[in-house]
Amino acid sequence: MNMIEAPSPNFDFRTTPPDTIVLHYTGMETGEAAMERLRDPAAKVSSHYVVEEDGRVFRLVPEERRAWHAGQSFWKGVRDINTASVGIEIVNPGHEFGYRPFPEAQVSSVIALVADIRTRWTVDDDRIVGHSDVAPERKEDPGELFPWKRLAEAGHGLWVEPPAAPGLPLAEGEEGAGVFALQAGFTRLGYDCAPSGAFDAHTTAVVRAFQRHWVQTRFDGVADGETRARLIGLLRLGA
Ligand SMILES: [Zn+2]
């Protein structure tokens, strides 16, 4: 793969090989501004790669080193996601500065980059996630416009489109076995969502993160029939 070397001083050492890939958007007005920040020692943030809107791929941190992109996070029982993952920053102004569709050249490069990373490390499909999946209360990137379905069709990550199951939507404030089962399902998929049976604000954040990744047409934090059917469908894939 064609890479442009743009080393960042912001990394330390891994204790285990990566088994997860985390996708982000940069959330800054320009790609240049994002690159500057990700290479600024004072900012103490970085990623392994940055993918520009025109498809150029920059390498900031070698994969065998630990980049600083995930922060406080959780996936499948792991809290130190920086140690467990390779991080890809995709240039997009994000929800704060004018969220817009990811151009074709950029999407192709992200897909090629993910494929390339998977030739070197064992990364299962259920460990290809967004920043919002691993930090649902803090983050919303790469967001509902990222083409997860296309990435999955290219062989990377999970996607299902089961028929929507009828059933009353579950929303914040509700309690009971249905909420418990929903939280158990999210936990099994990988989210930090310990089953309590009470649909609290954290559960709403998890539902919204799930919807941004695996529903995309709505991300209101209400677990409607379609949202629940997709969660069950993903778990049936063996996630
Ligand atoms: Zn991020």
Query: How remote is the CA of residue 123 from the centroid of ligand 1, in Å?
Result: 19
**What is the mean pLDDT of the segment spanning 109-128?**
98
Q: Residue 111 and residue 106: Cα distance in Å, rounded?
A: 9
Query: How remote is the CA of residue 143 from the centroid of ligand 1, in Å?
Result: 10
| pLDDT in the model for residue 239 | 59
Question: Burial letters for 15-52: b for 16+ Cβ neighbours within 10 Å, e otherwise?
Answer: eeebebbbbbbbbbeebeebbebbbeeeeebbbbbbbb
pTM for this structure?
0.97
Please, which pLDDT band fits residue 16 given cuts at 50, 70 and 90? very high
Residue 234 three-state SS: helix
Query: How remote is the CA of residue 235 from the centroid of ligand 1, in Å?
Result: 25
User: How does pLDDT run across 177-214, given as a tens digit for each residue?
Assistant: 999 999 999 999 999 999 999 999 999 999 999 999 99
Q: Is 89 a catalytic residue?
A: yes
Question: Cβ(157)–Cβ(124) under 8 Å?
Answer: no
| pLDDT in the model for residue 165 | 78
The DSSP letter of residue 103 is: P
User: How does pLDDT run across 48-74, given as a tens digit for each residue?
Assistant: 999 999 999 999 999 999 999 999 999
Identify the active-site residue in 52, 63, 89, 144. Answer: 89
